Chain A
Amino acid sequence: MACYYRGFEIVWLKSDVGRRHDIFVTGEKTQLKIPSRIDMIDRAASLANEIATRCGFDAESIFGIELAVREAVSNAVVHGNREDESKIVEVAFTDAVNALTITVRDFGAGFDPESVPDPTREENLLKPSGRGMFFMRTFMDEVIWQHHPEGGTIVRMTKRRS
């Protein structure tokens, strides 16, 4: 089942439990597909906030999850798909018993995460970029970047319930 809301697609992969303001239906897994536009990043981040809230995370964790998703989707839109609107970004939220797992996939050329310098080193402090991945690693319990076998990069982020 799929539905289109304000320019992006939300797909319900499992149970459709309830409907609220035409935006979101709870389920164990939610996937959304957005075009590679800067203004879509807010939508993905807002949805992350809603899902993290529904999953019962505390305010600190919700802030971190929203920021991590914002950074991952920003990277996918800007660096992965290079704002090519013909390429989508896929975001999936899987709510399991012990953790919330979020994947963000782009269809770009891929990159080596180890090549991104540590922004907290003295020589990098005044660089304007390079902090997005640092925030993802800081606020999530596990972050893994992989080349997708069918192209693009997929980042998998996990936040465990405390």
Chain B
Amino acid sequence: MAELTIKERQAGDVTILDLTGKITIGEGSVALRSAIRRLLAEGKKKILLNLGGVSYVDSSGIGELVSSYTAVNKENGQLKLLNLTQKIQDLLAITKLLTVFDVYDDEAAALESFS
């Protein structure tokens, strides 16, 4: 079974990626990187990462979230986070990245924020 499963949905011009599994060094981080690169190549620049199903993140995974954020910003797009687990929220808080990411716990509100 893949370390990280990524399912894609479209809500208007916003692409939602539902992530399930672990974003850790190796397979999980690579899968996220590939997904973001593919979306940008397809011109999809409004991206909502639903992390509700992510059970574990390490520093590599946090780094990949940061890389995703900067890659999308560089293309004049927006990347936002949805449904952080308490552990991921804690890790983003202690690394001061909660001040960087736009974070939501309600999908409708997150989608509204893109418009």
Contact = CB atoms under 8 A, between A and B. Distances in A.
Contact of A41 (B25, B62, B95, B96): B25
Interface stretch (B7-15, B63-71, B106-114): B63-71
Interface stretch (A6-14, A66-74, A143-151): A66-74
B100 A131 contact: no
B60 interface: yes
Interface in A14-45: 38-39, 41-42
A39 B26 CA distance: 7
Contacts of A78: 25
Interface stretch (A84-92, A102-110, A119-127, A154-162): A119-127
A128 B24 contact: no
Interface residues of A, number: 22
From A119, A120, A138, residue with most partner B Cβ within 10 Å: A119
A129 interface: yes
A128 B58 contact: no
A131 B64 CA distance: 12
Interface in B1-42: 24-26
B66 A126 contact: yes
B60 A74 contact: yes
A128 B96 contact: no
Contact of A74 (B25, B67, B91, B96): B25
B103 interface: no
Contact of B96 (A120, A129, A135): A120
A138 B94 contact: yes
A42 B58 CA distance: 11
A134 B95 contact: yes
Nearest to B68: A128
B100 A126 contact: yes
Given A71-B59, A74-B60, 7 more contacts: A42-B24, A74-B25, A128-B64, A128-B67, A131-B59, A134-B95, A138-B94
Interface of A: 38-39, 41-42, 63, 67, 70-71, 74, 78, 119-120, 125-129, 131-132, 134-135, 138
19 contacts: A38-B25, A41-B26, A63-B87, A74-B58, A78-B25, A119-B95, A120-B96, A125-B96, A126-B100, A127-B63, A128-B63, A128-B66, A129-B63, A131-B59, A131-B62, A134-B59, A135-B58, A135-B91, A138-B94
